[in-house]
Structure 1
Amino acid sequence: MPRSRILLFTLLAMLAFAGNSLLCRLALRDTALDAASFTLLRLLAGALVLAVLVRLRQRQPFAGDWPGALALFAYAGGFSYAYRDLGAATGALLLFGGVQAGMFLAAWRQGERPGGRQSVGLGLALAGVVYLLLPGARSPEPFAALLMIAAGLAWAFYSLPSRRRGDPLAATAGNFLRAVPFALALCLVQANRLEADVHGVVYAVLSGGLASGLGYALWYAALGGLGGLQAASVQLSVPLLTALGGALLLAELPSLQWVLSGLLVLGGIALVLSGRSRRAG
């Protein structure tokens, strides 16, 4: 694939990932749509788009598995419920921190230990999250913040290399389809609280079909031309893109607390990515 196409696909994928936060926040803040319905519609739209893409590209059965689908649902559900009470930028930063924490824990269990630069980076990132959560006028709602961190951990589990064997697009399509029954069950449990309107449904469908389904397809296409460090590093842009979009589209200006926390978290993760780990023992 030409380098220019790799860069274009990478940029579009990062914009799509940021768009997920913006669309979810917009739907749950400004429309009548509830979090359970948003989750279901997002997964349905994503499953449909991914199914079409897989069928167009190859005539192979969908892959994936039920544990992966459950992790995907946990991510999508936690993401939706957290965004009822979190600004777009804050949610993206906490989600990203949760993802990276999950990846680090998985590496630790496999015997990897952080080097000196990585240890400093981990300390900075943790300090950034703690600072963001400190009580104050602009601090996030604690339960929503924990939900978003849990969503990040679920996405980290879903994204582990051991779970991405074979064709990642086919696996993601299969997992989106398998996650739909979990979302239906959630809606049944929340049946007396379900609400919807046209705008909310449109935002949820765009989140699932474009920002999730098409976004993941673009990302998997770009990954073939990116190194591991490049792929991890470029994702540092997602919270920043979300903050910019939140300011321009949602009138949610990042606070000084968010800016300082973001510098600590993203700078710390950059140090982790640029350092070298070592094997235990």
Structure 2
Amino acid sequence: MRLFLLVSLVMVAFAANSVLNRMAVFGAGLDPEWVAVLRLGAGAVVLLGLTLALQGAQSLRISPKVVVVGMATLFLYIYGFSIASGLIDAGVGALVLFGSVQITMFVGAWITRERLTRWRLIGAALAFAGLVTLLLPGSSDAHIDPAGVGLMVLGGIGWGLYSLNGRGVRDPLAATALNFTLALVLALGWLAASGDPGQGQAWGIWPALASGAITSGLGYALWYRVLPQVPASLAAIAQLSVPLIAALGGALLLAEVPGPRFWISATLVLGGIALSLKKS
């Protein structure tokens, strides 16, 4: 039960990221590279502070290979996600993101020869069918921008690889702190290369900072902590609940109200998750 509650809390944090970034990039009109810097910077400050206060500087001595892979895959996710957040609705964006995550993590589970039970495969197929149902042509639930979908797929691949990398980390808090700090360097390079960012309304800074410090920084640290206890395939399926939470958040905060097709998709996704939890 404790593990279930922790995973549920992480899924809520992930969904909040979709809504908060949509608010900053689309709602306030901030440049995506600026939002990425704010998000990674706030997360780095919080995570480094917690790491130094709770564990000391010696905990930051982590395998360079793990840190470099974590930095690169985190930035890949941030890059695709930040731009796509301004192009597609929060709920649809989360669907595309975590559909891509699922594929990436299932491929990772297959490569590492993790045992995939019959019910887990059936559950994954049913849940993915729910995603396809929502994204079928003719849906009135949301506008779907092809460029936004492509960038969100890129972000999903990055997040899937980041999650797989996190399964081998012994100190999730310190690793996440280092990942955010080093990915911030890449984001600052992106910001410098973009020319003259600075569009948008000032209030958009706050959801970007909240996304970095709370739902990203603390949420990712908790995710890294629970990942070793969760099979890669099951972690992929659990993340399919995020789009449903994000869509509800988008409806409440952004007036992006889902239509009937959303609820059909929700039934398939949640049913698939339920089936995947069967042990045999």
TM-score (norm. length: structure 2): 0.83
Please say if residues 172 and 222 of structure 2, whose CA atoms lie closer than 8 Å, have aligned partners that are also in contact: no
Q: How does 1:1-281 map to 2 (within 5 A)?
A: 12-59=9-56, 60-62=58-60, 63=62, 64-112=66-114, 114-136=116-138, 137=140, 138-160=142-164, 164-219=168-223, 223=226, 228=231, 235-274=239-278
Cα distance, 1:216 vs structure 2? 2.8
Q: 1:112 to 1:58 in 2, by over 3 A?
A: closer
Please say if residues 36 and 194 of structure 1, whose CA atoms lie closer than 8 Å, have aligned partners that are also in contact: no
Cα distance, 1:31 vs structure 2? 0.8
| Count of aligned residue pairs for this structure pair | 272
Helix, strand or coil for the counterpart of 1:274? Answer: coil
Find the aligned partners of 2:224 and 2:70 in 1 and give their Cα distance: 17
1:193-231 deviations in whole A, cap 9, x for unaligned?
Answer: 54244211122111101111122344456x399665986
Find the aligned partners of 1:35 and 1:217 in 2 and give their Cα distance: 23
1:112-142 deviations in whole A, cap 9, x for unaligned?
Answer: 4745434433433443333333322435212
Please say if residues 233 and 273 of structure 1, whose CA atoms lie closer than 8 Å, have aligned partners that are also in contact: no
Partner amino acid for 2:105?
M
Partner amino acid for 2:17?
N
Equivalence for 1:279: none
Q: Judge which range, 255-264 or 28-37, deviates more.
A: 255-264
Q: Structure 1: which 5+ runs fail to align?
A: 277-281
Cα distance, 1:155 vs structure 2? 0.9
Find the aligned partners of 2:92 and 2:243 in 1 and give their Cα distance: 8
Please say if residues 87 and 252 of structure 1, whose CA atoms lie closer than 8 Å, have aligned partners that are also in contact: yes
Q: 1:45 to 1:146 in 2, by over 3 A?
A: same
Cα distance, 1:28 vs structure 2? 1.4
Helix, strand or coil for the counterpart of 1:65? Answer: helix
Cα distance, 1:83 vs structure 2? 1.0
TM-score (norm. length: structure 1): 0.83
Cα distance, 1:25 vs structure 2? 0.7
Q: 1:7 to 1:100 in 2, by over 3 A?
A: closer
Find the aligned partners of 1:224 and 1:196 in 2 and give their Cα distance: 37
Q: Structure 2: which 5+ runs fail to align?
A: none
Partner amino acid for 1:111?
R
